[in-house]
Chain A
């Protein structure tokens, strides 16, 4: 699962919906993977304002990845005058689109429920008493 997706995923349990600690989910025993894909600068630009930057910073430090700038980059910082991708854009591409969790667990900070991740797919099926 891409770190992009993890920046939007919340705990699925009903009683967690209104609890701010149900986002972000915290990876445990995470095995990371790197999958190369084409860069999509307009997509990154479009998604940038929707990212939870604080959550992304927490996540990359929890995973031991390079530390991120204090503030979310601006649109202007993504593209040079010449229309070339800046290092900022390249870094965001690698972090959000190419870096993923191959296996491990995602843990809710509110209820402690753990979602298993296998082959990059998180299991969000809930037993009916938790729905």
Chain B
């Protein structure tokens, strides 16, 4: 199947018809919701936070941020950026709570330094690898994006970007650009070596340690700019597994939080609710 990124620029690909099709498909809603929840798990936010949603589209990812319940650290407040006015029109129709900017992330992030606690991006940043006009290069756009993102996050802030690299070259072009901007960076692979493989670029701004965020997860490559070496994450308790949940629950209980009682359903996958 051909990639939309290779057909048209994003603002033309996501026209009125495509944006509506995208936003009303329950299959797509389910996939985007799962990936957003995964990104939230990796961000591990403990309190209601100010979050940038990069390539927010029609708000399928953002509304998950709004809906995080109080006992899971929510609800969060988000600001979205997207280049497609048709996608944003869908978001308006759906009355999402986040604010939105019509903006090209390849032109930078127009917020003052240290604005956001965290950032997410679901299925968007691979678009930066296609430069549509001769006066800009993918490298230049990636640099503007990651430099701007880095500055807009507070110290210790984290960003998680799920993306669809076309090939290993794009994957390293993106992670290298993030590292050059100053981020601690790692890539997490879910369902590796299947056709459903998902890549999450996990980024941290000084202070917060990306190895802490992704260590012990299966299939995590940590790129550490300081030591310039790659580590293969050991499989200990894969996040989301039953063992991981039991451990996390014990930690939460120790912190005095109320956790659900363990049952035979603990750690089983649930259907996504709408």
Binding site for B on A (CB under 8 A): 1-2, 4-5, 8-12, 14, 23, 37-38, 40, 42-43, 46-47, 50, 52, 97, 100, 119-126, 128, 131
Residue in B83, B100, B111, B112 with the greatest tally of chain A CB atoms within 10 Å: B112
From the candidates B47, B104, B133, name the one contacting A42 in the complex (CB within 8 A): B47
Whether, in the assembled complex, B48 has its beta carbon less than 8 Å from a beta carbon of chain A, the answer is yes
In the complex, 28 of the A-B residue pairs with CB atoms within 8 angstroms, ordered by the A residue number, are A5-B79, A8-B115, A9-B110, A10-B110, A11-B110, A38-B75, A40-B48, A40-B75, A40-B77, A42-B48, A43-B77, A46-B48, A47-B50, A50-B50, A50-B114, A50-B115, A50-B154, A52-B112, A97-B77, A121-B88, A121-B92, A122-B101, A122-B102, A123-B103, A124-B102, A125-B83, A125-B102, A131-B108
B259 to chain A, nearest CB (A): 20
User: Cα distance A131–B144 when bound, in Å?
Assistant: 10
Give the size category of B's interface with A: 20 to 34
Whether, in the assembled complex, B136 has its beta carbon less than 8 Å from a beta carbon of chain A, the answer is yes
B242 to chain A, nearest CB (A): 31
Binding site for A on B (CB under 8 A): 47-50, 75-77, 79, 81, 83, 88, 92, 97, 99-104, 107-108, 110-112, 114-115, 117, 133, 135-136, 144, 154
Which residues on B sit within 8 Å (CB–CB) of A38?
A: 75
Not counting A38-B75, A43-B50, A124-B102, a sample of 12 additional A-B residue pairs whose C-beta atoms are within 8 angstroms of each other reads: A2-B99, A5-B79, A9-B112, A10-B112, A12-B107, A40-B77, A43-B49, A43-B76, A50-B114, A125-B103, A125-B107, A131-B108
